[in-house]
């Protein structure tokens, strides 16, 4: 495709839009103040069916010692490590509240510690929590246990303690190695620090080490991304996430107002950052997985892609296709396939609710039949760049709306619509979020979206 064509497409399709870690996406959940009382009954209703395939647990560990201004995650900035123990006690209590709703011992397929910074916690505290949870589950022999490690504070003791419990995966936040970028995002770490953490993980027996890089950061140019990819490749992690920087400065509590829109690369420059990084990764033998992941062909994520077993949930792309995920901790999201729920976003309120015996959700969504059908299709498009459906689906009134929304993207050569299937064409892969948006029955007027989602490119 000529450069001018691609520039035109980028300016045409770079609109605010969801990343589709869920459908409906969080801003379109429909719940009122009665939802917290409905949630336990939804868990009871769906868990029995979903437990057959096993379940995932996500644990949100929100504390960070300092604020990185680019960060869009839910976190609590503090240097007070005395907050660790009460928080661990609340997590245990919350898990007990869920166990009360389950008919039998849950079959655990996947557990992920996210944040915030899980490595803010001492290895002993993490181990105490995990022993408590793992001993209450039937742990699958193929269980995948992983955590997000901050390279600046992940110690050999963290890696070893977690490896003893069966952890084999770690993802390190790298973002970008350029000093200028690091200064503006207030996230300082050298290549040597990352290398030490990476080698320590290998030493401790981790078989899937991932590095998180971000493209589109303030002050980031082509030289910066090339240098960051080169340094990353010198360590050859099994997986690399290459996230599109999400600029959402209107969300309270983030530090993204510390820089200006004029510090950000323009949409075409931002896409060039991704394409350059992608070219280098493909040349180095990595496989592109979905819209923002790369993996060595021997890694389970690349194998799942090949076997059409890739799944996407609130943790991003995963090899586990089970449909039950319980999220523990402040702001964590749970998914029982027929419904979602999110926990309250303040540590204090979270701890208080849990200790009063209440599952601390504050909002959620109960899926309709239409939501579930569209969810499956959007998931297939974002994981496999392809989706199929039944004749019945094509007879439904909303299918006409989908067809007419897709028309322009089809004319622009981004996708093909045939009877019973949609195929994303190679030129359309960069615009996969826009293609999913055509199937999103909850998306409202553009004006409203602009204050809810980051841009699609
Ligand atoms: C919750 S952070 C955690 C890891 C750990 N706290 C650290 O900083 O190393 C997980 C990853 O999300 C990504 N991330 C955070 N904010 C982002 C944003 N605004 N846009 C895109 N990716 C972002 C970063 O790559 C980050 O490493
Ligand atoms: S990037 Fe990691 S360390 Fe920085 S604020 Fe976000 S969660 Fe905390």
Task: Ligand 2 pocket test: pick from 117, 149, 258 the residue with the most ligand atoms within 8 Å of its Cβ.
Answer: 117
The arithmetic mean of pLDDT across residues 37-52, rounded, is 86
Question: Is the C-beta atom of 117 inside 6 A of ligand 2?
Answer: yes
According to the model, what pLDDT value does residue 49 have?
Answer: 73
pLDDT bucket at 66, cuts 50 / 70 / 90? very high
According to the model, what pLDDT value does residue 3 have?
Answer: 44
CATH 1.10.10.920 placement within the chain: 369-449
Eight-state DSSP code of residue 265: P
CATH 3.80.30.20 placement within the chain: 22-366
* Ligand closest to the CA atom of residue 76: 2
* Ligand closest to the CA atom of residue 256: 1
Residue 118 confidence (pLDDT) above 50 = yes
Fold of domain 369-449: Arc Repressor Mutant, subunit A (1.10.10)
Query: What number does the ligand 2 atom closest to the CA of 72 have?
Result: 6
Note the pLDDT tens digit of each residue in 400-428: 999 999 999 999 999 999 999 999 999 89
According to the model, what pLDDT value does residue 46 have?
Answer: 86
Eight-state DSSP code of residue 452: T
Q: Is residue 73 classed exposed, middle or buried when 0-12, 13-18 and 19+ CB atoms within 10 A define those classes?
A: middle
Give the strand order in the sheet containing 421-424: 386-388, 421-424, 415-418
Question: Is the C-beta atom of 121 inside 6 A of ligand 1?
Answer: no
Residue bearing the CA closest to ligand 2, atom 1? 71
Q: What integer best gives the mean pLDDT of the chain?
A: 92
pLDDT bucket at 444, cuts 50 / 70 / 90? low
According to the model, what pLDDT value does residue 12 have?
Answer: 84
Q: Phi, psi at residue 285, to the nearest 5°?
A: 100, 5
Fold of domain 22-366: pyruvate-formate lyase- activating enzyme (3.80.30)
Angstrom distance (rounded) from CA 382 to CA 312: 8
Residue 148 confidence (pLDDT) above 70 = yes
Question: Is the C-beta atom of 175 inside 6 A of ligand 1?
Answer: yes
Note the pLDDT tens digit of each residue in 320-331: 888 899 999 999
The arithmetic mean of pLDDT across residues 188-206, rounded, is 97
According to the model, what pLDDT value does residue 32 have?
Answer: 86
According to the model, what pLDDT value does residue 451 have?
Answer: 57
Which residues have CB under 8 Å from 130's CB, separation 6+? 111, 162, 165
Question: Is the C-beta atom of 245 inside 6 A of ligand 1?
Answer: yes
According to the model, what pLDDT value does residue 447 have?
Answer: 47
Note the pLDDT tens digit of each residue in 329-386: 999 999 999 999 999 999 999 999 999 999 999 999 999 999 999 999 999 999 999 9
Q: How far is the CA of 207 from the centre of ligand 2 (A)?
A: 24
According to the model, what pLDDT value does residue 448 have?
Answer: 53
Query: What number does the ligand 1 atom closest to the CA of 75 have?
Result: 1
* Ligand closest to the CA atom of residue 71: 1
Question: Is the C-beta atom of 176 inside 6 A of ligand 1?
Answer: no
According to the model, what pLDDT value does residue 308 have?
Answer: 84
Question: Is the C-beta atom of 77 inside 6 A of ligand 2?
Answer: no
Question: Is the C-beta atom of 417 inside 6 A of ligand 1?
Answer: no
**Short-list 384, 404, 378, CA closest to 17:** 378
Which residues have CB under 8 Å from 55's CB, separation 6+? 47, 106, 107, 108, 109, 110, 322, 324, 325, 326
Q: Record the pTM.
A: 0.92
According to the model, what pLDDT value does residue 48 have?
Answer: 77
Question: Is the C-beta atom of 214 inside 6 A of ligand 2?
Answer: no
Structure tokens at 409: 């993207």
pLDDT bucket at 197, cuts 50 / 70 / 90? very high
Question: Is the C-beta atom of 67 inside 6 A of ligand 1?
Answer: no
Question: Is the C-beta atom of 254 inside 6 A of ligand 2?
Answer: no
Note the pLDDT tens digit of each residue in 152-185: 999 999 999 999 999 999 999 999 999 999 999 9
Beta strands 386-388 and 421-424, pairing class: antiparallel
């Amino acid at each position: 495709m000529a450069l001018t064509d691609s520039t035109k497409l980028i300016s045409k399709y770079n609109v605010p839009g969801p990343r589709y870690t869920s459908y409906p996406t969080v801003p379109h959940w429909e719940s009122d103040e009665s939802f917290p009382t409905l949630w336990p009954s939804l868990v009871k209703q769906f868990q029995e069916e979903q437990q057959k395939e096993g379940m995932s647990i996500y644990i949100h560990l929100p504390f960070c010692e300092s604020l990185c201004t680019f960060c869009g995650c839910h976190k609590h900035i503090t240097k007070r490590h005395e907050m660790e123990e009460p928080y661990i006690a609340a997590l245990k209590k919350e898990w007990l509240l869920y166990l009360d709703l389950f008919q039998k011992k849950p079959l655990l397929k996947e557990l992920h510690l996210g944040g915030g910074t899980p490595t803010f916690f001492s290895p002993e505290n993490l181990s105490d929590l995990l022993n408590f949870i793992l001993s209450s589950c039937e742990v699958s022999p193929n269980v995948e246990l992983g955590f997000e490690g901050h390279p600046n504070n992940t110690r050999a003791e963290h890696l070893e303690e977690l490896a003893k419990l069966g952890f084999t995966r770690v993802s390190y936040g790298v973002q970008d190695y350029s000093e200028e970028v690091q200064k503006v995002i207030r996230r300082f770490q050298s290549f040597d620090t990352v290398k030490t953490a990476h080698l320590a993980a290998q030493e401790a027996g981790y078989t899937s080490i991932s590095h998180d890089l971000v493209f589109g950061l303030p002050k980031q140019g082509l030289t910066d991304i090339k240098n960051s990819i080169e340094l990353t490749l010198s360590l050859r992690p099994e997986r690399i996430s290459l996230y599109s920087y999400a600029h959402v400065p209107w969300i309270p509590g983030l530090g993204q107002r510390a820089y200006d829109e004029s510090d950000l690369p323009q949409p075409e420059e931002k896409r060039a950052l991704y394409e350059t990084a992608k070219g280098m990764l493909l040349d180095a033998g990595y496989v592109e997985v979905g819209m923002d992941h790369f993996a060595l062909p021997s890694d389970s994520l690349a194998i799942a892609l090949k076997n059409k077993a890739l799944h996407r949930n609130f943790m991003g792309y995963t090899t586990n296709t089970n449909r039950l995920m319980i999220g523990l901790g402040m702001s964590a999201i749970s998914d029982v396939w027929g419904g979602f729920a999110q926990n309250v976003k303040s540590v204090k309120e979270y701890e208080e609710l849990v200790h009063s015996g209440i599952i601390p959700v504050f909002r959620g969504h109960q899926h309709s039949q239409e939501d579930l059908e569209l969810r499956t299709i959007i998931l297939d498009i974002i994981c496999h760049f392809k989706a199929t459906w039944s004749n019945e689906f094509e007879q439904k009134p909303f299918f006409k709306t989908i067809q007419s929304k897709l028309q322009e993207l089809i004319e622009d050569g981004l996708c093909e619509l045939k009877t019973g299937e949609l195929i994303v064409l190679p030129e359309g892969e960069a615009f996969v979020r826009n293609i999913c948006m055509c199937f999103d029955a909850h998306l409202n007027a553009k004006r409203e979206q602009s204050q809810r989602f980051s841009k699609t490119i």
